[in-house]
Amino acid sequence: MEKATFAGGCFWCMVTPFEELEGIHGIVSGYTGGHVESPTYEQVKTGTTGHYEVVQITFDPAVFPYEKLLELYWPQVDPTDAEGQFQDRGPQYRAAIFYHNENQKELAEKTKAELAASGRFNKPIVTEVLPAAPFYTAEDYHQDYHKKNPKHYKEDRAASGRDEFIEKNWN
């Protein structure tokens, strides 16, 4: 098993693209990349801890290779937005790929370069590729939020503009 860690705005919206796929053995919402040990949601949402909201995925690379995770990741984000994602603004909502080994780093940088060269976007690709940092699991109520609070999740996602962006830019 390996871990993959992705930031793409609100972590609630980053769970569903990866769940229920063969080879994915777990998805945990949490925080990484900051300077506060064991941060709480209340701290992270202020944007002052340096942490990103992320999902950490446990996967079997023999069944679901990292490249496939990246293929799913890029269409979930606006890779040209350095200030957050969709309606979620602030440093805690920036998009980033946190790599756990050199292979992940190389693949993430390669796919980022390919996206930049594709001409799909007319602005620079600013999503960062960063080394994995200590990961802190988010509070229980954030785990599988879309299942625990489906009405609120659907309303929040609909209001975010994420789905319209995906449809327009990723088909």
Q: Are 107 and 67 within 8 A, CB to CB?
A: yes
Q: Where are the beta strands (DSSP E) in 118-170?
A: 128-131, 135-137
Q: Are 143 and 54 within 8 A, CB to CB?
A: no
Report helix, strand or coil for 78.
Answer: coil
Active-site option among 2, 8, 9, 10: 10
Closest CA to 28 of 133, 144, 141: 144
Pairing outcome for strands 128-131 and 2-8: unpaired
How far is CA 169 from each of CA 54, 76, 121, 122, rounded to the nearest angstrom? 22, 10, 8, 11
Q: Are 77 and 95 within 8 A, CB to CB?
A: yes
Q: State yes or no: is 13 an active-site residue.
A: no
Report helix, strand or coil for 132.
Answer: coil
Q: Which residues are catalytic?
A: 10
